[in-house]
């Protein structure tokens, strides 16, 4: 029987709640599609930090490096100064495991309520390829005269040809498997140096993909186009900070932060990729069963696809879409069911799933899971 080593980092706040739901769905997928997972839980987050003072230990990295893939909940706590856990664990882990691409699908599933009037699933199916290793997330910063009116803070941004090229190349490869269109999102009219580098890389890569069209949109204009005309986009490639911001907007189009999924991809195969919902630890709803587990479930689907479990991935995606379409609201008490109950509903549908690619939830069109597999095959070939 096929077996996969899975690292699990539940983290803080609602992280453990949505991860537990995702693991119950994974149990169902294993039973239905005939594979096993050997799971290793790694306790990273606020509790560990507050009791030991440790963020990301060498032991934790070694344990995680030995996995085939990692499921991540969320990290962040009001008890810890902002940035300590986020930079010290999440960003550090993405860097240690060379997860160069943060992939964020923005897909509105049939029957799922969206705040955008008139938006249909046919008009909302794009993928954001966010550069995951640089930008202002690793640029140096400093503060002098802190806490005084003379304080001066600087925060840089790093943009190397190498990392930008890696992200842009991935975006073109993915677009070649999809509708054949790449949009660069940046702020070249103000961030002229970083912007010029990104534009030059896109021009160079585009020359190798004559069948993929490409265009450019400023990040501020993107915030207008995305809700009004998402059908204009297929694959959007962007830097770390802009990608972080526009995908929260993308999540709203899909029905809310609780629905959006992501993958931190190691595209060279040198370490495992890591899959996590886009949302954070949501301390405001922690421990009440009010978190929607769909983002975690759809991240599990991406994870299964990366492990070569394509049928299970499609079944989890389609079961999640079906459960979402029956909910009166997509977060909080209005969902009418707890985080765990929603996980059980998705798991029950996965148990009954047929062998088709996403057919059970009425999903049409080729699956992102299949497209990713083709891109990965091209990269290793």
Ligand X SMILES: NC(=O)c1ccc[n+]([C@@H]2O[C@H](COP(=O)([O-])OP(=O)(O)OC[C@H]3O[C@@H](n4cnc5c(N)ncnc54)[C@H](O)[C@@H]3O)[C@@H](O)[C@H]2O)c1
Residues at the site binding ligand X, with contacts judged by CB under 6 A: 14, 18, 74-76, 86, 90, 257-258, 276, 279-285, 291-292, 295, 331
Is 176 or 290 the residue whose CB approaches ligand X more closely? Answer: 290
Shortest distance (Å) from residue 14 CB to ligand X: 6
Cα 324 from Cα 298, distance rounded (Å): 11
DSSP 24-35: HHHHHHHHHHTE
Asked if residue 163 lies in contact with residue 116, where contact means CB atoms within 8 angstroms, the answer is: no
In the numeric block, which tokens belong to residue 23?
């693991």
Sort strands 2-11 and 35-41 into parallel, antiparallel or unpaired.
parallel
Shortest distance (Å) from residue 285 CB to ligand X: 4
Shortest distance (Å) from residue 83 CB to ligand X: 8
Burial of 343 (0-12, 13-18, 19+ CB in 10 A): buried
Shortest distance (Å) from residue 323 CB to ligand X: 14
Residue 151, number of CB atoms within 10 A of its CB: 10
Of 58, 87, 7, which Cα lies nearest the Cα of 273? Answer: 7
Shortest distance (Å) from residue 145 CB to ligand X: 26
Is 329 or 379 the residue whose CB approaches ligand X more closely? Answer: 329
In the numeric block, which tokens belong to residue 60?
């934790």
Is 41 or 231 the residue whose CB approaches ligand X more closely? Answer: 41
Shortest distance (Å) from residue 78 CB to ligand X: 7
Burial of 105 (0-12, 13-18, 19+ CB in 10 A): buried
Is 88 or 283 the residue whose CB approaches ligand X more closely? Answer: 283
Give, as one character, the DSSP assignment of residue 178.
T
Is 14 or 164 the residue whose CB approaches ligand X more closely? Answer: 14
Is 11 or 121 the residue whose CB approaches ligand X more closely? Answer: 11
């Amino acid at each position: 029987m096929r077996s996969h080593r899975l690292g699990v980092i539940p983290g803080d706040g609602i992280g453990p709640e949505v991860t537990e739901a995702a693991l119950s769905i994974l149990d169902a997928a294993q039973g239905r599609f005939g594979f096993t997972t050997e799971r290793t839980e790694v306790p990273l987050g606020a509790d560990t930090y507050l009791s030991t003072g440790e963020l990301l230990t060498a032991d934790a990295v070694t344990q995680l490096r030995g996995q085939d893939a990692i499921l991540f909940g969320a990290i962040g706590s009001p008890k810890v100064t902002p940035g300590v856990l986020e930079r010290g664990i999440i960003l550090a882990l993405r860097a240690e495991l060379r997860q160069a691409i943060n992939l964020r699908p923005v897909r509105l599933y049939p029957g799922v309520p969206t705040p955008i009037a008139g938006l249909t699933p046919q008009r909302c199916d794009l993928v954001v390829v966010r550069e995951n290793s640089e930008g202002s997330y690793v640029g140096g910063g400093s503060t002098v005269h802190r806490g005084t009116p003379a304080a001066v803070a600087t925060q840089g941004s790093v943009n190397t040809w190498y990392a930008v090229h890696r992200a842009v190349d991935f975006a073109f490869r993915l677009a070649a498997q999809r509708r054949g269109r790449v949009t660069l999102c940046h702020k070249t009219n103000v961030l002229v140096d970083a912007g010029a580098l990104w534009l030059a890389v896109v021009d160079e890569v585009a020359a190798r993909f004559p069948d993929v069209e490409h265009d450019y949109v400023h990040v501020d204009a993107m915030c207008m186009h995305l809700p009004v005309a998402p059908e204009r986009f297929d694959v959007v490639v962007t830097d770390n900070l802009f990608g972080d911001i526009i995908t929260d907007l993308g999540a709203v189009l899909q029905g809310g932060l609780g629905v959006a999924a992501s993958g931190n991809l190691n595209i060279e195969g040198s370490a495992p990729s890591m899959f996590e919902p886009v949302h954070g630890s949501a301390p405001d709803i922690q421990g009440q069963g009010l978190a929607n587990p769909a983002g975690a479930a759809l991240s599990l689907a991406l994870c299964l696809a990366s492990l070569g479990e394509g049928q299970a991935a499609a079944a989890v995606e389609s079961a999640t879409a079906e459960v979402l379409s029956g909910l009166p609201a997509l977060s909080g008490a209005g969902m009418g069911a707890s985080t765990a109950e929603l996980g059980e509903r998705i798991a029950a549908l996965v148990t009954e799933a047929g062998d088709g690619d996403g057919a059970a939830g009425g999903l049409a069109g080729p699956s992102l899971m299949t497209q990713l597999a083709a891109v990965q095959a091209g990269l290793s070939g």
